[in-house]
Amino acid sequence: MTSEYKFIDDAEIKLNISTYLSKELDRAGFSGVEIQKTPMITRITVHVLNPGRVIGRSGKSINTLTDAIKNNFNIQNPQISVMEVQNKMLEPLLVAKDLAFKLERAMNPRKIIEFTLRNIMSNGAIGAEIILGGKLAAKGARARTIRKSIGYIPKAGAVTELVNEGHATAYPKYGAIGVFVRIVPPGTVFPDKINKKAQDNNIVLSNESSESSSETEPLENKEEQAIEKNEEKEIEEKVSDNKESEKEDLEEAKSEEEAEKEKKAE
């Protein structure tokens, strides 16, 4: 039971650290955190849009952040490394925060969803889904949900672990609105897609081999027929040559007999 409690405690600590960093590094464009615990140190990798805000002048900000994590969460020897986000449109948490910001400015939900989905796909994503839930209409209206997706998004099974997710909450005048974003990053390989492609390739190869065999067979038959025809032509030519030579011999023999007859008659 102690090992089970240890796993639960570790997961709880990771969740608390992630929640704490998302609040502290909100202005730096916090996107996510990876925590790797080793016997010697605890590596904390923070993904942000603006690493300069996290590091600070001569590393003051990151040192204070390290001390806060060490004291608040009882982590011995934490080491924080900062990674810059290359494309914010492929980070679900940043996309969700941007949508929440626009919803708080009373922008049309359907239009901003369609615009955001187009931007995500134009940046190379395989699939994306956005779900809005809450008071999306005017004051006094019921809460409702808008769900829109584009591309390929798995909804069940172990492949869902390959999908990145992000959640944010908007607080407009009429009530809270939850924003949930799911993105399949470019280059993601799904096992079911590999099997289908392999089957398709095998089918194509088998079709090509059958077609090539069916093409080679008539070609071989044609070559054999051409050779037979050439042999027949050669035989016919030889026979015709023999006939012509025989005719010429007969004509010469006749002409000689006629000449002998004429001599005798004289």
Query: Residue 214: what pLDDT?
Result: 47
In the listed set 28, 59, 85, which residue is the last one of a domain according to the structure? 85
In the listed set 188, 206, 239, which residue is the last one of a domain according to the structure? 188
Which residues are paired to 211 by β-bridges? none
Query: Residue 215: what pLDDT?
Result: 46
Question: Residue 30 maps to which CATH number?
Answer: 3.30.300.20
Whether 55 and 130 map to the same domain: the answer is: no
Query: Residue 59: what pLDDT?
Result: 83
Q: What confidence tens digit (pLDDT) does each residue in 20-41 have?
A: 888 888 888 888 888 888 888 8
- Give the total number of structural domains in the chain: 2
Could you list the residue range(s) of the whole structural domain that residue 71 is in?
A: 8-85
pLDDT less than 70: residues of the chain: 1-7, 138-140, 193-257, 259-266
Query: Residue 219: what pLDDT?
Result: 47
Whether 47 and 104 map to the same domain: the answer is: no
Question: Residue 107 maps to which CATH number?
Answer: 3.30.1140.32
Please indicate, yes or no, if residue 264 is contained in any of the structural domains.
no
Q: What confidence tens digit (pLDDT) does each residue in 206-240 have?
A: 555 555 444 444 545 555 666 666 666 666 665 56
Cβ partners under 8 Å of residue 56, min gap 6? 62
Instruction: Measure the CA dihedral 208/213/218/220, to 10°.
Output: 130
CA neighbor of 150 nearest in space, from 124, 129, 179, 120: 129
Whether 96 and 61 map to the same domain: the answer is: no
Whether 81 and 98 map to the same domain: the answer is: no
